[in-house]
Structure 1
Amino acid sequence: MKKCLGERMRGIIEILNTTFLNTPLYKIILAFIVLFIFLVFRKIFTLFVLSFFQKLSSKTKTDIDDKFFAAFKNPLRFLFVIAGIWGLFDYLNLKGEFLNHIIRGLLIFDIFWVMYNLVCEFEDWVYHLLGKYGKASRELASFLIKITKAFVVIIGIVAMLQEFGINVTGFIASLGLGGLAFALAAKDTAANLFGGIAILTDNIFKVGEWVKIGNAEGIVEDIGMRTTKIRAFDKRVIVVPNSVIAVSNVENFSRRDRRRVMMRIGLTYSTSVEDLNKLLNEIRSYLKNHPLVHKEPLLIYFDEYADSSLNIFCYFFTKTADWEKYLEIKEEINLEIKKTVEKYTSFAFPSNSVYFETPIKVEQ
């Protein structure tokens, strides 16, 4: 029995001493045990240290610490994997510049992993900050987030390639001709994109506002990163490229706080000067005391002698930009002016006087 056990032990020792790539098998096994130990430490670190900080951050009123914890959690756990890989190669005496490049490359990957996670965790903040400006700002926020993520990934890849001695600069330079062709092909798209950014940053208009851009007039229905959709008053949808908006005169009627009233009132020529003065003063007094009419400018004057009327010029502004409310105010004012005119005189209307001349008979 002992003889059999001794033979088995010698057999196992011979197997363990078997070399693979000039390294005894037992060393390879021990190296992987070192890696396994670091993975165990990683599990312990997750169960105790990370769980403690997670509970601690969940008790705070702000969610900033929660976001930072979520961004750092997995990269911190990955550090144990990097340490385990380093321990594995170090135990196998596979030291050298290549191992240093691998470890540094993994550390670079871990750092940019944290940066990428931070962008992901705080992207809802960007949506919240820009979302109040309408759909275009949400699209801009989405675009900025995607660009930032792509930037982090590209810089991370470039840093890792540089660590391994790959000349990325020469590779990028070789893409210059293709990049030029792509830039020319995407010229209009880029112009529309930056036009959309200009609409947001300059706060030209928002969804739901009444605007006029060139021949397009209506309510802004949608602001995209390439085009803006305007719903005309006859229910047509007008699609305007953002690059056109960026170089056009934009009239935003919804941003005004008033609407203009301008009209001429024609009175008959039979109106006396006394009645005309009373009429003008009464209209001025009524408008000055009206709660929905701006006090300045308020111009009510006997303006001209027309062909068939004495014309009063009226020019003032209502205190609303809403069209329906404006029409209600204007109707109320028109009815009051009609009452006042009929109190002193009457309205004139276009008329012509025809005179017939009786021929004189000459006696012969």
Structure 2
Amino acid sequence: MFPFLAKHIKYFLFKKRRNTFLKLLYSRVYKIGIPLLLLIDINAFFWYFDFENFKSIKFFINLFLLSWLFYEVIKYFIYTAISIKVTQKKRVRRELFHLIINLAKVFIALIVFVSVLSFYGVNITAIITSLGIGGVIIGLAAKDTLSNFFDSIRLISSDAIHVGDWIETRDFEGFVTEIGLTYTQIRTFDNSLIVIPNTKLANDWVRNWSRRLIGRRIKFWVKIKYTLDIDEVNRVINEIRQMLISHPMIVTDRKIETIKNKLHKNNLFILEDKYGVRKTLLVYLDEFDEYSMNILVYAFSITIDWEGWLKVKQDVLLKVLEIIKNSKLELAYPTSVIFHDERKNLWKE
């Protein structure tokens, strides 16, 4: 019966549709249908043949199938919510859905445990009330686990980090791969996996490099040889500044105006700080060094990913070199000057 129904449901409802959302729903409905139809078939089988001596077997089969069915129903609603957010082009917080699924697993396990005890006639209320000192000992032993669990909820509710974020703390740096009930997994840049208790992560400072909408900093100094040609120095500085303003991948006021208008809701916060938008652009003669005059170049690239940022930075550096090449200025480098005394030897013979 099950293959027949599954085949016709698939054919009439979803097979002819190319919508990705409906295909996902079909896959989840199909997984719900497996334990549901098995539950119906097995209970019909036991009812028809009237197996009175197999009550315990029937109980455990029903308990397993009901737990399976409940778990698949929860996953159905979770994946439906994810699909709706994806179709609406909204950000999906995967760690929140993982937390709900993990909590559902724990809840189902507790229900199964209590159901088994009740089936064998164990008084659950009496067990709970008789724990006494034993319950206190168990509570103290599970103190760290409970602390990690509540800190995981605090991490997710504070919206400080998401799965996929590049974070840095006092002891490690990498990408968040999972925020679990009691721990968080970090994939470091050398491709090792670090498992950190949520209590440690929640009570330490965290620098989240991924929480930037626009703007990754480019900062360097152009070292030029000392010169008294002030007009030429000013001309080079202005040319570098204009090059950055006209660069398609460098953030300026005009380029982010559309984004600011889109994000503007009220004046209760600074948009640049809330969403991570940086537009500072500075080109100035900064200092006199031992062997050079240093021009500070400070700007932000539109892209925030590492490779894209490196490409923009390389292009800016090459353009700066081209500007220096076409000017009267020269790049400076450490030099040593040796003075040779050519006077005759005055030593007495």
Asked if residue 318 in structure 1 is aligned to residue 301 in structure 2, the reply is yes
Contact 2:175 2:187 in 1 (8 A): yes
Cα separation, 1, equivalents of 2:117 and 2:7: 37
Does the 8 A contact of 1:158 with 1:168 survive in 2? yes
From 192, 198, 203, the equivalent of 2:148 is: 192
Question: Aligned in 2, Cα 1:353/1:56: closer, same or farther, shift over 3 Å?
Answer: closer
Q: Which has the higher contact order (CA 8 A, sep 6+)?
A: 2
Asked if residue 145 in structure 1 is aligned to residue 104 in structure 2, the reply is yes
Instruction: Give distance in 2, aligned partners of 1:274 and 1:301.
Output: 14
1:301 Cα deviation from its structure 2 partner = 1.4
Contact 1:126 1:141 (8 Å CA) reproduced: no
How far 1:174 moved relative to its partner?
Answer: 0.7
Aligned residue among 325, 330, 333 for 1:346: 330
* Aligned residue runs from structure 1 range 159-308, under 5 A: 169-201=125-157, 202=159, 204-207=161-164, 209-256=165-212, 257-295=214-252, 296-308=279-291
Shift of 1:71: 9.7
TM-score (norm 1): 0.59
What's the secondary structure of 2:320's corresponding residue? helix
Q: Tell me what 2:70 maps to.
A: 119
Q: Secondary structure at the match of 1:320?
A: coil
| Distance in structure 1 (CA, Å) of the matches to 2:206 and 2:221 | 30
Letter of the structure 2 residue corresponding to residue 242 of structure 1: N
CA contact (8 A) 1:54 1:69 kept: no
Aligned equivalents of 1:292, 1:278: Cα separation in 2? 23
Output the amino acid matched with 2:295: I
Q: State how far apart, in whole Å, the 2-side matches of 1:154 and 1:233 are.
A: 42
Partner of 1:255, secondary structure, is: coil
Counterpart AA for 1:338:
L
Alpha-carbon distance in structure 2 between the residues aligned to 1:54 and 1:278: 76
> What is the TM-score of this pair, normalised by structure 2?
0.61
Structure with the largest fraction of helix: 1
Deviations 1:217-237 (A, max 9, x none): 123455544433333334444
Alignment of 1:6-85 (within 5 A): 63=29, 73=40
Q: How far apart are residue 216 of structure 1 and its match?
A: 0.3
Question: 1:45-80, CA deviations, whole angstroms, 9 ceiling, x for partnerless residues?
Answer: xx9xxxxx99998866785996997599479969x8
1:125 to 1:200, Cα distance in 2 relative to 1, 3 A: farther
Q: Which runs of 5 or more residues in structure 2 are unaligned?
A: 15-25, 53-62, 84-91, 253-278, 343-349
- The alpha-carbon distance between structure 1 residues 175 and 124, as it changes in their structure 2 partners (threshold 3 A), is same
Amino acid aligned to 1:145: A
